[in-house]
Structure 1
């Protein structure tokens, strides 16, 4: 193998640049050439790509987002679009591809491999941490730290005004951000899409807290579980308590990656290059028990990663 390509796809996540840097420098260290594909699969189809060198990834390990940018590509979902992408594989002499993204990105890479047999390795980069086959994905740690920082600041105001605050966080199908940030931030209730919730129980817990002298309460809501605005309205109607709602939105995606995410991204990016050199053809990188491991690519999108019930139950116990 002499030349590989790398792209970032789907939603950006802090640490993607660290992963790009690791892919490029690890490949160059071993004598490989690297092509950087701009705007994900869209750039793959449109030939928006070019060579990368050591200087291409200088001073990016600390930056959020992705220097390769990212975009959705409806054209790549079609056989005609993928045929254009393969023509570019031949044109640029690409012999392996590293895809940094989530399960949708991996599904596209898997499909392309099935049709054209180009070796592909996926690196999990998504703040949702919802990819089966890895305990952590790049960007998750930064995202939950962003949420916890918001909780800390909101708690100051909540205490001063004796209010209940509802914080809506990202997670249409996965509640990992809400769960981990809620535990770390000491939230009274955590609503996630994986589990049904009872607003009556949420309100009863709030009332018990205020009766024993609590000055504030914080509820964390994953966007896939409920609307933060609706939750706030129901709490006001059922309890009469003054409520305020904060929706963090895309604030969770940006920012300087934490040390954990930089280290994880560096280890995973380097491992992806090693896997291509060793002949892996349709696999993903994962982290299991602090070890960087190889797994089947379709693991990421065949089945849903279950929520950690031990952590969920612990968060409930500690919020009594």
Structure 2
């Protein structure tokens, strides 16, 4: 290939810039022209495309968000929208595309590949919900943001002898809640993959109080439900002084960790290598610290699930 494109789509994630940088510089190193597409598939439809140079990605590896910006584009789910995108790819002579994002972004990459434009998906989402890879770009950074918040909340929970319910992101995936809850010493972790009864949770809180425990931290994944509602139920059933913190989009921001920067750099470079070999319809990832690539269709069929052994461990350590 002589010309490739790169875009970021869906929710932003820390480390996306590092992946963009890797794609651009890896391609240029191999004498391939790179075109940056702004605002994801929306920008592709509208022709918001520009040629990237080495300096285009200078001083971005440490920045959160995405320099290419991002958007969600319902029009690209239609045949008409996809044909508009292909028209722009033809106009710029782009022969292959690197798509950085989550499952919605992968669906667009799959559609383009079927229409003759090889695409490679790079997993960029804080949710860590892409099958076929142990970790997604942005997960580690978001996890550390949550842990920092939990540590600070515990300080005030201890001071006021309160129960705190902390809601974290992740959509229908409980990885952020599980990992942050285990690392932050949470008394209870509620994940959408497992069923929970409020009466069991409150019984556990009461047992803790009976043995002299003065405060508790409960981590709730947003896919379980509203932390505000859960906090209200806990207070009504236990009469414990209960507070709720919804961390929200602060989890998506911030400078990416070293782990996310390295992962993004490795995966971005691998995506270019696959396109250089003429391979499309692939997704890249990391399994047991080894880079892998696999059919992108697998990410759209298989369902990611939490590590149940880790969840069991969190319960054993929070007795």
Residues 145-182 of structure 1, C-alpha deviation per residue, up to 9 Å, x if partnerless?
10000000000000000000000011221011000000
CA distance in structure 1 between the partners assigned to 2:108 and 2:262 by the alignment: 26
Residue in 2 that maps onto 1:11: 11
Q: Is the 8 A contact 1:104 1:301 kept in 2?
A: no
CA distance in structure 1 between the partners assigned to 2:97 and 2:194 by the alignment: 37
Map 1:32-51 onto structure 2 (within 5 A).
32-51=32-51
CA RMSD in angstroms comes to 0.7
Residue in 2 that maps onto 1:236: 235
Measured after TM superposition, the shift of residue 207 of structure 1 is 1.1
CA distance in structure 1 between the partners assigned to 2:222 and 2:160 by the alignment: 26
Residues 106-130 of structure 1, C-alpha deviation per residue, up to 9 Å, x if partnerless?
011101211x211100000000000
Q: Is the 8 A contact 1:5 1:35 kept in 2?
A: yes
Deviating more after overlay: 71-80 vs 260-269: 71-80
CA distance in structure 1 between the partners assigned to 2:255 and 2:169 by the alignment: 18
CA distance in structure 1 between the partners assigned to 2:60 and 2:210 by the alignment: 51
Residue in 1 that maps onto 2:80: 80
Secondary structure of 1:301's match? helix
CA distance in structure 1 between the partners assigned to 2:129 and 2:230 by the alignment: 24
Q: Is the 8 A contact 1:64 1:255 kept in 2?
A: yes
Q: Does 1:144 align with 2:143?
A: yes
TM-score by length of 2: 0.99
Residue in 1 that maps onto 2:280: 281
Ranges in structure 2 where 5+ consecutive residues have no aligned partner: none
Measured after TM superposition, the shift of residue 78 of structure 1 is 1.5
Q: Displaced runs of 4+ in structure 1, greater than 2 A?
A: none
Secondary structure of 2:301's match? coil
Residue in 1 that maps onto 2:112: 112
CA distance in structure 2 between the partners assigned to 1:198 and 1:37 by the alignment: 46
Q: Does 1:2 align with 2:2?
A: yes
CA distance in structure 1 between the partners assigned to 2:163 and 2:300 by the alignment: 38
Secondary structure of 1:121's match? strand
Residue in 2 that maps onto 1:197: 196
Q: Is the 8 A contact 2:112 2:118 kept in 1?
A: no
Deviating more after overlay: 4-13 vs 165-174: 165-174
CA distance in structure 1 between the partners assigned to 2:280 and 2:159 by the alignment: 57
Residue in 2 that maps onto 1:258: 257
CA distance in structure 2 between the partners assigned to 1:229 and 1:93 by the alignment: 51
Measured after TM superposition, the shift of residue 41 of structure 1 is 0.2
Map 1:269-308 onto structure 2 (within 5 A).
269-308=268-307
Q: Is the 8 A contact 2:202 2:234 kept in 1?
A: yes
**Aligned residues between the structures:** 319
CA distance in structure 2 between the partners assigned to 1:238 and 1:55 by the alignment: 59
CA distance in structure 1 between the partners assigned to 2:284 and 2:189 by the alignment: 30
CA distance in structure 2 between the partners assigned to 1:284 and 1:88 by the alignment: 23
Measured after TM superposition, the shift of residue 212 of structure 1 is 1.5
Deviating more after overlay: 34-43 vs 208-217: 208-217
Residue in 2 that maps onto 1:209: 208
Measured after TM superposition, the shift of residue 303 of structure 1 is 2.1
TM-score by length of 1: 0.98
Ranges in structure 1 where 5+ consecutive residues have no aligned partner: none
Q: Is the 8 A contact 2:10 2:105 kept in 1?
A: yes
Measured after TM superposition, the shift of residue 208 of structure 1 is 1.3
Map 1:121-132 onto structure 2 (within 5 A).
121-132=120-131
CA distance in structure 1 between the partners assigned to 2:151 and 2:212 by the alignment: 20
Residue in 2 that maps onto 1:95: 95
